[in-house]
Amino acid sequence: MPVITNIEDLRRIYQRRVPRMFYDYAESGAWTEQTFRANTSDFSEILLRQRIAVDMSNRSTATQMIGQDVSMPVALAPVGLTGMQHADGEIKAARAAEKFGVPFTLSTMSICSIEDVAENTTKPFWFQVYTLKDDDFMQRLFDRARDAKCSAAVITVDLQVMGQRHKDIKNGLSAPPKLTPKSIANMMTKVQWGLGMLGTKRRFFGNIIGHAKGVSDPSSLSSWTAEAFDEALDWDRIRQFRKMWDGPLIIKGIIDPCDALEALNVGADAIIVSNHGGRQLDGALSSIRALPQIMDAVGDKIEVHLDSGIRSGQDVLKAIAMGAKGTYVGRAFVYGLGAMGEAGVTSALEVIQKELDVSMAFCGHRNIEDVNKEILMIPRDFSDKWQ
Ligand SMILES: Cc1cc2nc3c(=O)[nH]c(=O)nc-3n(C[C@H](O)[C@H](O)[C@H](O)COP(=O)(O)O)c2cc1C
């Protein structure tokens, strides 16, 4: 077992072990990737204030997200095709998350289905839905999530149109992968991955095939996807979704204070400040830079969470100190999963928790719930330098 001391170690192993097509799928942003890069680099503009000679014993990173206990304020973000990064990937990641005491969010576009993940785990997970045109299918997704005892629904609202990642087009990304001379040559170098995939029957979009009208096999999926997403989405439509699901609800994909104010009227339990990991609008603000203005607009009225760019416990600490009640990691857990399966996801979570815990102590705190902006040094014009 390799010695893992940080998330970058996992990314490097992941890159070696997983076919190029799926590595590129995760490790890319839209168009020039400006926002993808800013998501991580903007975190490093914020500095932490080190304190000494304060009691740093008996620390705790435990808190709550939407009223549910978490061992640290970090959930696994919904990531499509997770089951292509490692055989049975969603089940592996969900198991690592439940043992660690953090929420796992299953994507609509997962390989393992809602029912399959529920059967193979012991604690409730969260389910993410996209905003699709087909009412029946949407209602059935919520019903299936309820039957599977999901303890929250996450509605992703930033995918009315799709951002373009050049590499996915050039690689001919698909699940399962299309067999071309180039993809076969690459997959032959990923032996462990290939053996895992040969040993599982979970290789298609489990929530869609056999459930969506007219999608009975993988070949009809691409035409369904092109048709299914609702370009005409508006807030009334989002309020209809609220009526379809009576459990805890989280709205994901808000990057502007005006939209955060709109989200208040939907009756959600939380919003996620997110630019989809830089995969949608290239040139949009990084999430961490968008957070202060959103906190000012709605922070005292609704729970605010954040994702996009988190690669360390220090990043989590900064987001929490700026007022977020929780964070999510997408790529950071995918690196772990692709590198070493369930153990790799656990390793990613351990790295982040250790960094969070020790950084919190250095800043003079023992409890994550007590952390606030005073531990930060934020450049004066960090989030209000626009006209
Ligand atoms: C490979 C990949 C697939 C994703 N698929 C989904 C998805 O199916 N649904 C969704 O709401 N967000 C999806 N996202 C966005 C993540 O939920 C999350 O917002 C993003 O990964 C956070 O940024 P980070 O990767 O820098 O942590 C995806 C992200 C990645 C990297």
Classify strands 47-48 and 376-377 as parallel, antiparallel or unpaired: antiparallel
Q: What is the pLDDT of residue 18?
A: 98
What is the per-residue pLDDT across 187-230, written as a single tens digit (0 to 9) for each? 899 999 999 999 999 999 999 998 988 787 776 777 787 789 99
What is the per-residue pLDDT across 258-292, written as a single tens digit (0 to 9) for each? 999 999 999 999 999 999 999 999 999 999 999 99
Type of residue numbered 377: M
Classify strands 303-306 and 270-273 as parallel, antiparallel or unpaired: parallel
- Is 71 within 8 Å of 102 (Cβ atoms)? yes
- Which residues have CB under 8 Å from 287's CB, separation 6+? 39, 255, 273, 274, 275, 306, 307, 308, 309
Verify whether ligand 1 is closer than 6 Å to residue 109 (CB atom).
yes
pTM of the model: 0.98
Verify whether ligand 1 is closer than 6 Å to residue 82 (CB atom).
no
Q: Which residues of 334-368 are buried (b: 16+ CB within 10 A; e: fewer)?
A: bbbbbbbbbebbbbbbebbbebbbebbbbbbbbeb
Low-confidence ranges of the chain (pLDDT < 70): 219
Query: Which whole-number Å values give the CA distances from 174 to 47, 110, 137, 168, 202, in the listed order?
Result: 41, 13, 23, 9, 14
CA–CA gap between residue 64 and residue 81 (Å, rounded): 28
3-state secondary structure of 57: coil
Verify whether ligand 1 is closer than 6 Å to residue 206 (CB atom).
no
Residue 166 CA, chain-centre distance (Å), reads 21
Question: Closest Cα to atom 11, ligand 1: which residue?
Answer: 156
Question: Closest Cα to atom 4, ligand 1: which residue?
Answer: 79
DSSP one-letter string for 190-248: -HHHHHHHHT-S--S-TTTTTTSTT--SGGGHHHHHHHHB-TT--HHHHHHHHHH--S-
Q: What is the pLDDT of residue 176?
A: 86
Query: Which whole-number Å values give the CA distances from 1 to 157, 344, 356, in the listed order?
Result: 40, 10, 24
How far away, in angstroms, is 24 Cα from ligand 1 center?
A: 13
How far away, in angstroms, is 328 Cα from ligand 1 center?
A: 9
Structure tokens at 362: 């250095």
Ligand 1 atom nearest residue 78's Cα: 17
- Which residues have CB under 8 Å from 253's CB, separation 6+? 156, 157, 158, 159, 272, 274, 275, 276, 280
Annotated catalytic residue 86: no
Q: With 0-12 CB in 10 A as exposed, 13-18 as middle and 19+ as buried, what is 160?
A: middle
Rg of the chain in Å (alpha carbons): 20
3-state secondary structure of 17: helix
Q: What is the pLDDT of residue 219?
A: 66
- Checking 10-13 for CB contacts under 8 A at 24+ apart, the result is 10/332, 10/335, 10/336, 10/339, 10/340, 10/344, 10/347, 10/348, 10/351, 11/331, 11/335, 11/339, 13/335, 13/338, 13/339, 13/340, 13/344
- Is 145 within 8 Å of 127 (Cβ atoms)? yes
Q: What is the pLDDT of residue 125?
A: 98
Classify strands 249-254 and 152-156 as parallel, antiparallel or unpaired: parallel
CATH H superfamily, domain 7-47+63-357: Aldolase class I (3.20.20.70)
Structure tokens at 344: 């790799």
How far away, in angstroms, is 364 Cα from ligand 1 center?
A: 33
Verify whether ligand 1 is closer than 6 Å to residue 277 (CB atom).
yes
Classify strands 152-156 and 126-130 as parallel, antiparallel or unpaired: parallel
Peptide bond into 176 cis (omega under 30): yes
How far away, in angstroms, is 77 Cα from ligand 1 center?
A: 6
Ligand 1 atom nearest residue 158's Cα: 11
Q: What is the pLDDT of residue 178?
A: 86
Type of residue numbered 144: R
